[in-house]
Amino acid sequence: MSSPLKLGILGSGKGSNFRAIADAIAAGTLNAEVRLVAADFEDAGILALARERGYRAEFVAPGRFKTKMEPENEHRLAAMLRDAGVELVVLAGYMRMIKSPLLDAFPRRIINIHPSLLPEFPGLEAWKQAVEARAVRSGCTVHFVDGGMDTGERIDQAEVPVLPDDTASSLHARIQVAEHQLYPDVLRRIADGRVKIG
Active-site pick, 75, 114, 143, 172: 114
| In contact, 58 and 77? CB cutoff 8 Å | no
DSSP for 40-104, written as a single string: SSTT-HHHHHHHHTT--EEE----S-SSB--HHHHHHHHHHHHHTT-SEEEESS--SB--HHHHH
C-alpha distance from residue 76 to each of 61, 101, 104 (Å): 10, 9, 13
Instruction: Please indicate whether residue 75 is annotated as part of the active site.
Output: no
Catalytic center residues = 114
